[in-house]
A and B are shown apart, each in its own frame.
Chain A
Amino acid sequence: MSEREVLELLRENARYSTADIARMTDLEETEVEAVIEELEAAGVVRGYQAVVDWDKLEQERVRAEVELNVRLDRETGYDDIAERLARFPQVTALRLVSGDYDFHMEVEGDSIREVSQFISEKVAPVPEITQTVTHYVMTSYKENGIELGDGEDDERLSFSP
């Protein structure tokens, strides 16, 4: 149970201090540390990353959502293809999905040219891949549960009964 609570808090804000997590869960700080260590050791927590609004940076960042169709054979399954694709550092997310296509892949790069080249030179030639459809991200509105708008001011009165 405490595992679940700590996990929820880390998902909300991975930078909460263990002291604050302890205060919010009524656990001892050492217990919180132990829970986090267990979550990491068991591979439940795989890492901690910042949620970035790239539009706020001068430097360009190009992201694409890519639909992939594949053909399997006796020797090659989804996992084999996925393993091969996931090794590319340009691939930031890769999921097998239901529906019209097989894999949903997210790719990042510094320019459209770089991303296009990656798809055409590294992904498309993979023999099992029969089709790629690339969607460039134009604007992102929400990432990892965080809305990227300007937010709203607190309009509440500073005192109310």
Chain B
Amino acid sequence: MRFELSDRVQTVPPSGIRRFFEIAEERDDVISLGVGEPDFATPWAARDAAITSLEQGKTSYTANRGKRELREAISDYVADRFELGYDPDEEIIVTAGASEAVDLAFRAFVDPGDTVAIAQPSYISYEPGVVFAGGDVLPVPTTEEDDFRLTVEALEAAGADEADTLVLCYPNNPTGAIMTEADLEPVAEFVREHDLTVLSDEIYAELTYDGNEHVSIATLPGMRERTIVFNGFSKAHAMTGLRLGYALGPADAIAAMNKIHQYTMLSAPTTAQHAALEALDSCDGDVREMVSQYDRRRRFVLSRFREIGMDVFEAKGAFYCFPEVPEGFTAEEFAEEVLREQGVAVVPGDVFGAGGNGHLRISYATGLEDLREALARIEAFVEEHT
């Protein structure tokens, strides 16, 4: 007896990061710049609230869409921070990480044969998510010349006018690119003109630098009714392991997502919801402090890459930068050899789809001492090989 794997599952290749794990295992002095999560622990007040909720025995399911109190807090928070207005009863759903919310959206809105355009390089789960839902992926590569922002030219060149849905992630993983309101406007116009829906992953919204404030595409004229916004507590509140995210959207769309959620997840983790409520209530200072730490490290890392002589564009969001590998290397080769020879883990840009080749994703969600040492090792590697 053997399980016959579904076509959908067989179509999706194994993760490109897998084999790097094995190389990393061979050394015990690896410094990792390959981590896509904060190095900070969850703010203590949020952890304390979670512990208290456990002590009080608050361990039952919550409402499918999440505790009402939490949805109200989310509604206030997104209104205050990003000028997004969503009704806590009808237009917000709390999920097990933003990842679940993204998956719900694919399953709720994508039919077999539908085309989903994905601005790339981007987070590695969107493509498989579309395939699992039976849709067809249309990669829309962005380029370093455009600072990895999505442009109408790129959308047209890829044929996205024929697509049904567009997936965006800004501030971007893996490039650190952001989109200002002026950058978003032409994209919004394209989307309205060709009648696409938009899935906007804004999980890094709090992490913007150099005086830039995140702008959600859903705040642009005519966009609210055709956009689902994803956000969560993993990045800004350093709560990755607590698995808590949410989606914002028009009532009928959220109801459709909730239909899948209620049968598959029932409700997001209760303990995490208590932590999240406290995070919104009292942890803004912690978030500001973490953002200022990331900003310092960002400047440090960008300066060091320039000193080393590797081209790197001025990343203004998330906690990544995306330098070019020196001539004579592919990104895969560089990543593999710098890991073997110097014990520095980085992720080759190809993993993140079209437009990522020739680049490395560098995460600076790591303490300054380690960053300094890792950059010194990369410098030694580059000096030796170029």
Residues of A at under 8 Å CB distance from B? 9, 13, 20, 22-26, 152, 154, 156-161
Q: Which of A23, A158, A159 has a CB less than 8 Å from the CB of B304? A: A23
- 8 extra interface residue pairs, beta carbon distance < 8 Å, beyond A26-B303, A154-B39: A20-B368, A20-B372, A23-B299, A23-B304, A26-B299, A158-B24, A158-B30, A160-B34
Contact with A along B22-55 (1 / 0, CB 8 A): 0010000010101111010100000000000000
A160 lies within 8 A of B35 (CB):
yes
Indicate whether B58 reaches chain A with its CB closer than 8 angstroms. Answer: no
Nearest Cβ on chain A to B238's Cβ, whole angstroms:
11
Nearest first, the 7 A-B pairs at minimum CB distance are: A23-B303, A158-B32, A24-B296, A159-B34, A160-B36, A23-B300, A159-B17
Tell me the bound Cα distance from A152 to B367 in angstroms: 13
A-B CB contact pairs (8 Å), 11 listed: A24-B296, A24-B297, A24-B299, A24-B368, A26-B299, A26-B303, A156-B37, A157-B35, A158-B32, A159-B21, A161-B36
B35 lies within 8 A of A159 (CB):
yes
* CB nearest to B38 among chain A residues: A156
Residues of A within 8 Å of B345, CB to CB, are 158-159
B24 lies within 8 A of A159 (CB):
yes
Tell me the bound Cα distance from A160 to B304 in angstroms: 23
Residues of A within 8 Å of B39, CB to CB, are 154, 156
Given A20-B372, A23-B304; A160-B299 close (CB under 8 Å)? no
B30 lies within 8 A of A159 (CB):
no
Residues of B within 8 Å of A157, CB to CB, are 21, 35
Tell me the bound Cα distance from A25 to B300 in angstroms: 8
A158 lies within 8 A of B21 (CB):
yes
Tell me the bound Cα distance from A2 to B368 in angstroms: 19
Tell me the bound Cα distance from A161 to B124 in angstroms: 7
By secondary structure, the B interface counts as mixed
Indicate whether B123 reaches chain A with its CB closer than 8 angstroms. Answer: yes
Q: Which of B34, B123, B299, B304 has a CB less than 8 Å from the CB of A25? A: B299
Residues of B at under 8 Å CB distance from A? 15, 17, 20-21, 24, 30, 32, 34-37, 39, 41, 123-125, 173, 296-297, 299-300, 303-304, 345, 347, 368, 372
Tell me the bound Cα distance from A24 to B293 in angstroms: 10
Tell me the bound Cα distance from A157 to B37 in angstroms: 9
Residues of B within 8 Å of A156, CB to CB, are 32, 35, 37, 39
Tell me the bound Cα distance from A125 to B124 in angstroms: 73
Tell me the bound Cα distance from A151 to B326 in angstroms: 37
Tell me the bound Cα distance from A93 to B35 in angstroms: 42
Residues of B within 8 Å of A13, CB to CB, are 368
Residues of A within 8 Å of B34, CB to CB, are 158-160
Nearest Cβ on chain B to A8's Cβ, whole angstroms:
8
Residues of A within 8 Å of B30, CB to CB, are 158
Residues of A within 8 Å of B123, CB to CB, are 161
Residues of A within 8 Å of B24, CB to CB, are 158-159
* CB nearest to B20 among chain A residues: A159
Tell me the bound Cα distance from A158 to B28 in angstroms: 11
Tell me the bound Cα distance from A23 to B306 in angstroms: 11
Nearest Cβ on chain B to A5's Cβ, whole angstroms:
8
Given A158-B21, A161-B125; A24-B300 close (CB under 8 Å)? yes
Residues of B within 8 Å of A20, CB to CB, are 300, 368, 372
Given A161-B123, A161-B125; A25-B36 close (CB under 8 Å)? no
Nearest Cβ on chain A to B69's Cβ, whole angstroms:
31
Tell me the bound Cα distance from A157 to B34 in angstroms: 9
Tell me the bound Cα distance from A149 to B253 in angstroms: 49
A158 lies within 8 A of B35 (CB):
yes
Nearest Cβ on chain A to B198's Cβ, whole angstroms:
22
* CB nearest to A155 among chain B residues: B241
Among the interface residues A25, A26, A161, which one has the most CB atoms of the partner chain B within 10 A? A161
* CB nearest to B25 among chain A residues: A158
Tell me the bound Cα distance from A24 to B296 in angstroms: 5
A159 lies within 8 A of B347 (CB):
yes
Tell me the bound Cα distance from A161 to B363 in angstroms: 10
Residues of B within 8 Å of A22, CB to CB, are 303
Among the interface residues A25, A152, A157, A158, which one has the most CB atoms of the partner chain B within 10 A? A158
A159 lies within 8 A of B32 (CB):
yes
Residues of B within 8 Å of A161, CB to CB, are 15, 17, 36, 123-125, 173
Tell me the bound Cα distance from A9 to B124 in angstroms: 35
Q: Which of A25, A152, A160 has a CB less than 8 Å from the CB of B37? A: A160
Residues of A within 8 Å of B304, CB to CB, are 23
* CB nearest to B125 among chain A residues: A161
* CB nearest to B366 among chain A residues: A154
Residues of B within 8 Å of A26, CB to CB, are 299, 303
Tell me the bound Cα distance from A130 to B21 in angstroms: 67
Q: Which of A9, A159, A160 has a CB less than 8 Å from the CB of B296? A: A9
Nearest Cβ on chain A to B176's Cβ, whole angstroms:
15
Nearest Cβ on chain B to A54's Cβ, whole angstroms:
23
* CB nearest to A157 among chain B residues: B35
